[in-house]
Structure 1
Amino acid sequence: MKSGILIFSLLFSLTACQQHEKQNLQDANMITLDTAQLNAAFDQYREPALFHRRFKHSDVDSLIQNHRKKGALDVELIGKSVEQRAIYKLHYGAGKKVVMLWSQMHGDEPTATMALFDLFNFLTAKGDDFDAARQLIHSQLDLHFIPMLNPDGADRYMRRNAQYIDLNRDARDGQTVEGSLLRKMAKEIKPRYAFNLHDQNIYYNVPGTKNPVSISMLAPAYNDARDINDVREGAMQLIVGMNKLLQGYIPNAVAKYDDTHTARGFGDNFQGWGASTVLIESGGMKGDVEKQVIRKLNFAMILSSLLDIAQERYKQYDAKDYEQIPFNASQLHDVVLRNVDLGTDAVALTSDLAIRRSEVTVGGDYFVRGRIEDIGDLDESYGYDELDAKGLTFIQGKVYPKPLDSVAQLSFDQAWKLLKQGYIAIQVKDVSMDRLHNLPLVVYTQQRYIPVPQATLGGLTNFYLGNGSHFRYAVVNGYLIDLENKPEPGLYKNRVN
């Protein structure tokens, strides 16, 4: 009996070793790109025509026509938007694994669109160290890209389409021409894998930290019970692989999006239609205002995932690791000021302030409006910029007494000098020129500017922090400015009011 057990044990060990060796051999034969290679690929094939978030449909259209002429991608006009802007599908590959990717179904969510054009440049190149990866993708995958589903929203830089309908809430009824078109493509293409590419707001943080969530992901639920079948599990495994990659780029800056089932959402429905669907949400990163770093992350994670799908390597990942990725928290602000003396002669008060800046689009540019988002005990809130203002008092700024003819008369250095002297606002007479400016001042026209006398919820954010007559910091339109460190011109996005 003992000898039988011994023989069985030896056979079991031998089989296990053989399987392990076979797995190692398979792994060794797989084509992978490490972070250095992905960085090099991005740097080489980054699409230079797209360099800020507010590009238009015409910018994308011209790039697509260039790819049509080159012939390496099959370009098909699949429909037109409400306002008759062209919607294209680009096709690459001759494999059997069908993958569908769509971006910018929300017009103000363009980060992944930029990354897709970087990927198009990569896929259509040849004669470099990445040829093996391209050949693998081409031979194994059947890729279908819709890089801009909502061109009308993109031209306005707004979430919804020209009919003010959220396309990502139109999967069930298909009331819009764009939503109906995406449903039609899903039915015709019948993808086995899908990538639903979005941007989320920049105020999500990793729970318990001040880290912005730069990328959040989700394997959407296909029913209210959030059941896990083979299809959804595949999406979870793909996300586990992407998270492993992202931790090398942005450790502790990845989270999951809310997984509540949305019956009218496209990601949820694609999952139910049999496509392992991954939602990618591009979030925020300090200093990456135009999301060019996060664009690179999109390029890297999508390309790496396509290689995973081509070789079915994603099946090696444990779907249970998906559950270890935390969900988004929403405790982040542009600025948090702590322990500010907000008291009056009658009532003492030391408290915290949270500030957020909203963006207003003007053509291909924008300006911001700063507002006080919250006042009180904000120990669980975080800021991209934080300041312990203990010992500093809220101080009302002054208005410069002499109006200028136009904002063009005021240089950045002159504005900086005025700000340091306690002047937070200045009047201009002529606004016939561009009203957008980058000066660290409130610039206004004939309308009377009323200095901010105290911090009020929802109120304007133009004031000083200091001690007595000494101004240590200024807050101008929601930007926190250290008056002892002159900033670089171009940092601020303001408008003549």
Structure 2
Amino acid sequence: MRNILSVGFLFFLISLSTSCSRPERKLDAPTIAVEDLRRAAEMYREKAFPVRRFSHADMIPHIHKRSNLFSQEILGQSIEGRDIFRLDFGQGTKKVMLWSQMHGNESTATMALFDLFNFLEGADDGFEEIRNTLAENLHIRFIPMVNPDGAERFVRRNAWEIDLNRDFLHGTSPEAVILKQARDNFEPRFGFNLHDQNTYYTAKGSRNPATISVLAPAYDEATSINDVRSNAMKVIVGMNEILQKEVPGHVGKYNDAFEPRAFGDNFQKRGTSTILIESGGYPNDPEKQYIRRLNFMIILNALYQIATEGFTDYTVEAYFAIPDNESRLMDLLIKGVALNDSVNYRVDLGIRRREVEVADPLDYYVSGSIADLGDLSVFYGYEEIDESGLVIVPGKTYEQPINFDSFTPDDAVELLRSGYLAATTAESFSGALHNLPIIVLSGKKEIPFGTAIGSPTNFFLQKEDILKFAVINGYLIDLAIPEAIRWKQKVL
């Protein structure tokens, strides 16, 4: 089976006949078929990481189990003494370095790297030509978790509250020093800087989430383009080509203003063609497992194009044709709603949710609040309500204590339909979190409610005296057709 499009003189012939219809490419650059990338991603997905939150200790066994195809080294330790590993693959002369989780709560690409490790160790699956091409042409260095202390708490910064990606110049944190030395000692031709972004970016001019955002960082204030930076741009064009086949319209590009403290900008300045990949949002993918697959697909294809020099067939112009990022998304957008029965004007209401860590840093609850209100016609929602006549009304509290150990989501929906937005706990209920579609109050507390920016989002949407929807912590529940919505909430 042919997994890879043939490379050679044929491409010059193809380019003569297709240059008008495919202006984004000079030639038919060697690439891996999208269906093969999909198959590989599914086949080699590391099942040990089914969710975004995992610790350094969770990761270590999956580093140590690697075969002799990988060489390993501990590059140093974090502030709290956790090892920072590197794994090397391949015997080629073209050096590539990939590093992930500089920010401790940005783990999507880390999961994808372990999928890639599994792929590189695979055999007898039809992908041998790809592996051989990578092994013979590339020397790849992986650093899968630069900020293990932040990962332990699932927070952005390290144990000293330093943003590692703004610590290149001072090198205050040991993790930043380790990453800088890793590049200087290895001197890679290409670098992949792997991050997560918030889920509210869109591709400019579109309602689509920027599921993947990209950047070839500038190396000076003038945002000049030399061969080093243009090569990064061309690799990105190849990645975008794969993404447009898989998730068309879901790719955005970051502003390239020079950031003198950042690693990507400085690595670019020092001669490493640096590609930033930011994993954003995608509908119904809260754990970013689909976005993880996209990371695997575009990184594997990019490595193949670097190995074959196929990236040189793309153009810088095609890089600048990628839409810019815009922050235009809400988790829930309610259009033309009255804030209460006594007002005679209507507004659009934009709600965003956030995860709040608890005592166990790998656990959390969800908190929703009003991000904006007024004319939000330039915004979009992962979920939207656009129904005339809706009015926000507060909910009631069911005063009789309930034994939540035997309380079901269906029981909660019945209370919602009766106008109860919250219930109080019986003494037998224990625990700080729950996943029922109702607010749980401990004692005589009131339901958190408000209609100002920043207010908690717990209310009903009513139309002509009929309760149509419940909004709890920013989640929408259709009372006519309630789905089994479950998310982690805090007992208040």
| TM-score between both structures, scaled by the size of structure 2 | 0.93
Provide the C-alpha distance between the structure 1 equivalents of 2:158 and 2:416, rounded to a whole number of angstroms.
42
State which of 357, 365, 373 in structure 2 corresponds to 1:375: 373
1:460 aligned residue: 456
1:83-105 Cα distance to aligned partner (Å, 9 max, x none):
00111000000000000000000
1:58 & 1:98 partners in 2: Cα distance?
29
Q: Is the 8 A contact 2:389 2:464 kept in 1?
A: no
Aligned counterpart for 1:215 among listed residues 204, 212, 230:
212
Amino acid at match of 1:312: E
Note if contact 1:216-1:257 (Cα within 8 Å) is conserved in structure 2. yes
Alignment equivalent of 1:480, drawn from 476, 480, 490:
476
Structural mapping, 1:310-325, within 5 Å: 310-325=307-322
Matched residue type, 2:356: V
Pairwise mapping of residues 290-309 of structure 1 onto structure 2 (< 5 A)? 290-309=287-306
Structure 2 partner of 1:350: 346
TM alignment of 1:230-379, pairs within 5 A? 230-345=227-342, 347-362=343-358, 363=360, 364-379=362-377
C-alpha distance 29-324 of structure 1, shift in aligned 2 (>3 A): closer
CA contact (8 A) 1:98 1:190 kept: yes
**Map of 2:46 onto structure 1:** 47
Tell me which of 434, 439, 444 is aligned to 2:441.
Answer: 444
Counterpart contact for 1:431–1:445, Cα < 8 Å: no
Q: CA deviation at 1:416?
A: 1.1
Residue 432 of structure 1 deviates from its aligned partner by 6.6
Q: Which has the larger radius of gyration?
A: 1
Identify if the C-alpha distance between structure 1 residues 32 and 272 changes in structure 2 by more than 3 Å, giving closer, same or farther. Answer: same
Q: Name the residue aligned to 1:494.
A: 489
Query: Aligned match of 2:12 in 16, 20, 25?
Result: 20
CA displacement at 1:404 relative to structure 2: 2.2
Give the whole-Å Cα distance in 1 for the aligned partners of 2:394 and 2:237: 51
Q: Unaligned 5+ residue runs, structure 2?
A: 1-8, 17-25
The equivalences for 1:371-410 within 5 A come to 371-405=369-403, 407-410=404-407
Larger helix share, 1 or 2:
1
AA aligned to 1:193 is F
Change in Cα spacing, 1:29 to 1:337, as seen in structure 2 (3 Å) is closer
- Kept in 2, the 8 Å contact 1:78–1:89? The answer is yes
Choose which of 132, 135, 140 in structure 2 pairs with 1:135: 132
Matched-pair contact (CA < 8 Å) for 1:442–1:496: yes
Q: CA deviation at 1:449?
A: 1.3
**Structure 1 residue 409 displacement after superposition:** 3.2
In structure 1, the residue corresponding to 2:399 is in which secondary structure?
A: coil
Matched, 1:147 2:139: no
Aligned letter for 1:494? Q
Residue of structure 2 aligned with 1:159, choices 133, 148, 156: 156
SS in 2 for 1:409: coil
Shift in Å, 1:380? 0.7
Q: Secondary structure at the match of 1:197?
A: strand
Between the aligned partners of 1:226 and 1:431, the Cα distance in structure 2 is: 63
- Aligned CA distance change for structure 1 residues 408 and 158 (closer, same or farther; 3 Å): same
Q: CA offset at residue 208 of structure 1?
A: 2.5
Equivalent-residue separation in structure 2 for 1:431 and 1:207 (angstroms): 52
Contact residue 137 and residue 306 of structure 1 kept, 8 A: yes
User: Kindly tell me: are residues 87 and 447 of structure 1, through their superposed partners in 2, closer, same or farther at Cα, counting changes over 3 Å?
Assistant: farther
Corresponding letter in the other structure for 2:433? L
Question: Which whole-Å CA distance do the structure 1 matches of 2:280 and 2:86 have between them?
Answer: 26
1:75 aligns with 2:80: no
Aligned partner of residue 329 in structure 1, secondary structure: strand
CA-based RMSD of the aligned residues comes to 2.0
Q: TM-score, structure 1 length as denominator?
A: 0.92
Q: Identify the match of residue 191 of structure 2 among 185, 189, 194.
A: 194
User: 2:14, 2:27 within 8 Å by CA — same for their partners in 1?
Assistant: no
* In structure 1, distance between residues paired with 2:318 and 2:27: 23
Offset, 1:354: 0.5
Distance 1:476 1:52 in 2: 23
* Shift of residue 361, structure 1, vs aligned partner: 2.3
Aligned: 1:180 with 2:172: no
1:279 partner SS = strand
Q: Helix, strand or coil for the counterpart of 1:305?
A: helix
Contact kept in structure 2, 1:403 and 1:427, CA below 8 Å: yes
The alignment of Structure 1 onto Structure 2 pairs a total of residues equal to 473
Aligned equivalents of 1:378 and 1:152: distance in 2? 39
- The answer to whether the 8 Å contact 2:229/2:268 transfers is yes
* Alpha-carbon contact 1:341-1:390 (below 8 Å) kept: no
Correspondence for 2:20: none
CA contact (8 A) 1:399 1:426 kept: yes
- Name the SS for the 1:401 alignment partner: strand
User: 1:451 Cα shift?
Assistant: 6.0
Secondary structure of 2:225's partner?
Answer: coil
Identical residues among aligned pairs (%): 45
Q: Which moved more, 1:440-449 or 1:475-484?
A: 440-449
C-alpha contact (below 8 Å) 1:74/1:92 kept by paired residues: yes
Retained in 2: the 8 A contact 1:474–1:483?
yes
Paired AA for residue 45 in structure 1 = Y
CA separation in 2, counterparts of 1:438 and 1:124? Answer: 39
Which of 469, 475, 482 is 2:465 aligned to? 469
The aligned counterpart of 1:3 is none
C-alpha distance after superposition, 1:396-422 (max 9, x if no partner): 1111020124x3232111111111111
